[in-house]
Chains A and B, each alone.
Chain A
Amino acid sequence: MDKKLQPIVQTLEKDFGAEAREIFGEVEVVLSSENIIAAGQKLRDDFDFALLSTITAVDYFPEESPRFHIVYVFNSLSKNLQLTLRVPVAGENPTIPTLTGVYKNANWRERELWDMFGIKVEGHPDLRRILMPDDWDGHPLRKDYPLGYEEPQFTFNFEEIDLSKPKGEM
């Protein structure tokens, strides 16, 4: 682990009961979802991680608790550091608090989480689908959402093709 990262990881461990692990030379910190806003705030204000690079998720279906891991990647421009946070979320009615109050650009990434994984983001100012059409069924990046089944839909075969389309649960 990078020496400069050590105190930061230790603080996260102490304050939020986080768990650090190292993989492929990068540090990952696992913490629970109720702490993510406070942790984000701490990273931004105390440790100068001003740039939230991305938010994404991994679906571990058929495992149920936790089914999802939300992955946050933070970058510090002044210290030239990178840190990954992971937040496990249960499969039933998955919900995370929004980070938009701390990092503005969490907005679109969290909409993507809702769109692609069906993870509800509590307190989000504008939780609509972003990449898929508004009337889309299901959340494509979930592991129980099958790949394929998509045939070109023309007017003459619209209904027939529509029947074979995967239907999500929401």
Chain B
Amino acid sequence: MATPYALPEVTLDQIKHLVSQRALDGETVLLNMGPQHPSTHGVLRLLLELDGETIITCVPDVGFLHTGIEKNMESKTYLKAEVMTDRLDYLNTVGNNFAYCLAVEKMINVDVPPRAQAIRVILAELQRIASHLIWLATSSLDVAAMSVFLYAFREREIILDILELVSGQRMMTTYIRPGGLWRDVPVEFDDAVRNVLNTFPKRIDEYEALLTKNPLFLDRTLGIGKMTAEEAIQWGVTGSTLRGSGPDWDLRKKRPYSGYEQYDFEVPTETEGDVYARYLVRIKEMRESLKIIEQALNKLPLGPVRSNDRKIVPPPRSEIGTSMESLIHHFKLWTDGFDVPKGSLYAAVESPRGELGVFIESDGGPKPYRVHWRTPSYNNLEALPDMTEGLLIADLVAIIGSIDIVLGDVDR
């Protein structure tokens, strides 16, 4: 048994199928980048084979943030397991809840009231903007644009304030629940979102003024990390990274869920497939998200935000004091949970990073038998070696920024 201090020895033998013969002959250099590195956007380790500063091979090594969420969810009821979904992709917490709840709702066949559906869309789109802001901040910081970083984080805080307003939490909201929402939004919600709608287009103009035609930014991004549409699909790349290469594959448009079909919005695409194209796509997506939020907010229906099915949704507090049946429902829900019919389902939504799918297998009991997360960052990262070969380390940093990975999403 290994002692606490002994690191497992890595020999060249173990990695010789990953690098070229030149590395084994000592002609090229093997360099370890990460897992603690500011430009890898989390705990991503890359094994680089370098000829001078040119990358010959790049081997990503993931798993440093593996938290066993899939295993843990198996031991919790459907309601309690939802709390873990926030921790997957911590920049898209609402979106993770959304995917999970849509899958569970489809399995138990419960209807979600229109008001809840519209609020879900508003929050998911706000979250998309917040996530894109982090991408904008960090990826432009990687190519040495410091001020965008500060601006984007300032604006993201406004969106996190809205999440805190509705759920009490800035990030780990668990606000979307199977059957609807945790509770209705407070009265201040409307003003807060309109404030975002009014100020935000100008902010995006500001970011664009700083970057879009900035020659230093163009030098670092134009023609870098090129990927054709076919290659991207072969690697399972989805989301904005895929749309930068051409296909207009967006699940909100192609397989509308939660009433996305009612809203008028475009799916921005670019054909170049380089870092700059992905930048343009995400900037446009933020504007499209604002359009969706505005439409959803303008015709936000009144009514309940939770299903009336007491077997799935806990009763309101006011009923528990007066109705024995409500008390029993409340007790049963938070101790046993609800049963889900036997069978399995794969359902996907469009997260800021791509196709976020959840596979749930139920054995008919109150706990999921198996939950698998098809996380978009995992597949997007897998395509990284293809994009980087023959480029410089400085380009690699720009490319990692442009595929917008979240290591919590990769490692689960």
Contact = CB atoms under 8 A, between A and B. Distances in A.
Interface of A: 23-26, 28, 50-54, 56, 58-59, 71, 73, 75, 77, 80, 82, 84, 103-105, 107-108, 116, 125-126, 129-135, 140-141, 147, 153, 155, 158-159, 162
B66 interface: yes
Given A132-B63, A135-B8, A140-B68, A24 B106 contact: yes
B250 to A, nearest CB: 11
Contacts of A153: 4
B372 A54 contact: yes
Contacts of B345: 23-24, 26
B348 interface: yes
Contacts of B70: 116, 141
Contact of A131 (B107, B238, B411): B411
A11 to B, nearest CB: 21
A25 to B, nearest CB: 7
A141 to B, nearest CB: 6
Nearest to B360: A24
A131 B3 contact: no
A129 B61 CA distance: 10
B169 to A, nearest CB: 26
Contacts of A158: 3-4
A28 B344 contact: yes
Given A53-B348, A84-B346, A126-B17, A24 B4 contact: no
Interface in B192-245: 230, 233-236, 238
B343 A24 contact: yes
Interface string B166-187: 0000000000000000000000
Contacts of B8: 134-135
Contact of A82 (B68, B346, B361): B346
A131 to B, nearest CB: 4
A73 B374 contact: yes
A56 B2 contact: no
Contacts of A134: 8
Contact of B249 (A25, A77, A82, A125): A77
B104 to A, nearest CB: 11
B71 A105 contact: no
B74 to A, nearest CB: 8
* Centre residue among A25, A26, A51, A125 by max chain B CB count within 10 A: A51
B234 A50 contact: yes
Interface string B362-389: 0000000110101000110011000000
B357 interface: yes
Contact of B236 (A53, A130, A141): A53
A53 B254 contact: no
Nearest to B378: A108
A131 B1 contact: no
B72 interface: yes
Given A104-B234, A105-B234, A59 B71 contact: no
Contacts of A52: 236
B235 A25 contact: no
B242 to A, nearest CB: 9
B66 A131 contact: yes
Contacts of B233: 50-51, 77
B355 interface: yes
A122 B66 CA distance: 25
A30 to B, nearest CB: 12
Contacts of A103: 234, 236
Contacts of B3: 158
A134 B75 CA distance: 26
Contact of B106 (A25, A104, A155): A25
A129 B198 CA distance: 49
Contacts of B80: none
B22 interface: no
